[in-house]
Amino acid sequence: MKAMLGMIVSAGLLAAATPGLVAQSGPHVLVAGPVVSRELHYGPAPRQVAQLFEREKSRHAPLIVYLHGGGWSAGTPRAGSAGAQADHFTGAGYAYATLGYRFVPDVSVEQQLADVAQGIALLRRQKGVDADDIVLLGHSSGGHLAALIGADPAWLDKAGVPFEALKAVVLLDPAAIDIPPIMEAGRGIGTVARYYAPAFGDDPARQAALSPLRHAEAPNAAAWLMLHDVNNPLAGMQSEQLSVALIAAGAREATVVPVQDTTHLRLNDEIGRPGNSATVEIDAFLARVFPDRQRARFR
């Protein structure tokens, strides 16, 4: 079993450090008006910054907050905003924000989680944003951070954000759902040594405390969507484990979807592109999360 998990870890954690970029997609026509953006600093460090995107005519919109990947020690928020995500989601009637955070080893993962919570607190106060309708969208290590904030109310509580404001969590190829078995099976694997060991150290108790699966008891965000590259067995296996635990704890939805014909990076980079299957899944999920919300549509 340990050998099998080691092979899964090795296969599933390649190329997890630096997200790629895609060209901006063409304009959507669901909500009129150009995309406008604001840069918001929630702390003094250069990476403690959020970029908020909204359609000029949108009002009181649910907020999607994107957390980039990069092995907790690299990456850029532009992986979301420079691709098609901002255009697509604002066109569908949402506010969309990318949220930067400081990196390991300069800070701990616990400090990264505090960064994210503080950034969300600032974004909730912005004009045009519905402060009580928030969705977290995280890729790779950003998926780990999103999952932990969605499963452990302590982080938002510390930032003064009511946990019930977090309506849903979307994970894209999450890098870690249950950390201790990854660390145990991944000894000697380059990806684990390079990214996971600096982030989570050698203490099994701390590794467990930073594992979303270990916080799956209620309360949790009510709705979850976990998308993973069909060739990433680690993300698939751990997402399924989290889904079972969340449903058992009372979550309304915790859906796991394997995505064909993609890679760890492309799954993130191609969100928002016309015809992208993962985007179709996210759009349908968001419609289930906000069934009563009327969004203007212009053609």
- pLDDT of the residue at 32: 67
Torsion of CA 275, 239, 290, 80, to 10 degrees: -50
Give the contacts of 22 (CB within 8 A, at least 6 positions apart): 82, 83, 84, 269, 270, 273
Give the separation between CA 99 and CA 139, rounded to whole angstroms: 12
Per-residue pLDDT at 17 exceeds 50: no
pLDDT band at residue 30 using 50, 70 and 90 as cut-offs: low
In this prediction, residues 204-209 reach a mean pLDDT of 98
The residue extents of the domains of the chain are 34-176+206-289
Per-residue pLDDT at 77 exceeds 60: yes
Mean pLDDT, rounded, of the chain: 89
User: Which tokens hold the place of 208?
Assistant: 């467990």
- pLDDT of the residue at 59: 83
- The second-level CATH assignment, the architecture, of 34-176+206-289 is 3-Layer(aba) Sandwich (3.40)
Burial of 165 (0-12, 13-18, 19+ CB in 10 A): middle
Question: pLDDT (tens digit, 9 = 90+) per residue, 267-281?
Answer: 999 999 999 999 999
Question: pLDDT (tens digit, 9 = 90+) per residue, 148-182?
Answer: 999 999 999 999 999 999 999 999 999 999 999 99
Nearest to 121 by CA among 176, 166, 159: 159
Per-residue pLDDT at 237 exceeds 70: yes
- Residue pair 144/176 in contact (Cβ under 8 Å)? The answer is yes
The pTM (predicted TM-score) of the whole model is 0.89
Residue 199 has φ and ψ, to the nearest 5°, of -80, -40
- pLDDT of the residue at 19: 30
